[in-house]
Structure 1
Amino acid sequence: MTGPTLSSAVASFVSLVNVVTPLLGGIALLIFFWGIIRYLWASGDSQSKASGREVIVWGLVALFVIFSVWGILSLACWSFVGDARCYQQQNVQCTPDGQCYGPY
């Protein structure tokens, strides 16, 4: 009987991140758009425009960080696991000998 390996732990973690990332990306995108709306609604008020601009910048920073972490973890998964088991939520089927087939 074998226990969990590093590659299975990495694959499981990346699968979790692959589920959570689109949700966090959507929230960051909403924050970005909220900043745009605040900026546009601040007709002549320079303080409101600055506040909207700040929300826009933080929304972009959040998007960059979220998708950078997603990419780095995907790269780590491919490095440790070496096949498509990192993307289990995409209905990738893997045989016991390591051959993986996904929706194409």
Structure 2
Amino acid sequence: MNNFKKIAMVVSAFAPVFAYAQSGSLISDIIYKIVYIFNYLVIIIMALGSVVFLWGVISYITAAGDEVKLASAKNYITYGIITLFVMAAVWGLVAVLQNTFGIGAEFTPTPSY
């Protein structure tokens, strides 16, 4: 039974070739889709980092001298800036890897603020 499963898997993998049907996905198609999804995740995380930063700025302005609120607001500002910096670095790294491996930059949207 084990050999039958192996043979069935191999035959089913090559069945589209024999039927002149659609062939299986290429690895580059999968990489394009991963990069496409990853780029939009970066945009979403950068937007969240911007919201955290702005929340920290608003909290800092409205703290009215309360030391606990000021410390909390400073943490929000710090983490927001760190998030924006890290995601911009990741975005740049993805662009470098795309150019290095020839995947193409048509899937890398430029950030618009």
TM-score, with normalisation over the residues of structure 1? 0.70
Number of matched residues? 88
Question: What stretches of structure 1 move > 4 A for 4+ residues in a row?
Answer: none
Shift of 1:60: 0.5
- Aligned counterpart for 1:4 among listed residues 23, 26, 48: 26
Q: Distance in 2 between matches of 1:29 and 1:82?
A: 29
- Which has the larger Rg? 2
Tell me, which stretches of 5 or more residues in structure 2 are unaligned? 1-22
Q: What letter is aligned with 1:16?
A: I
Shift of 1:22: 1.5
Tell me, which stretches of 5 or more residues in structure 1 are unaligned? 91-104
Shift of 1:85: 4.3
Q: What letter is aligned with 2:74?
A: R
Question: How large is the Cα RMSD of the aligned pairs?
Answer: 2.2
Q: Distance in 1 between matches of 2:64 and 2:86?
A: 31
Structure 2 match to 1:49: 70
Structure 1 match to 2:34: 13
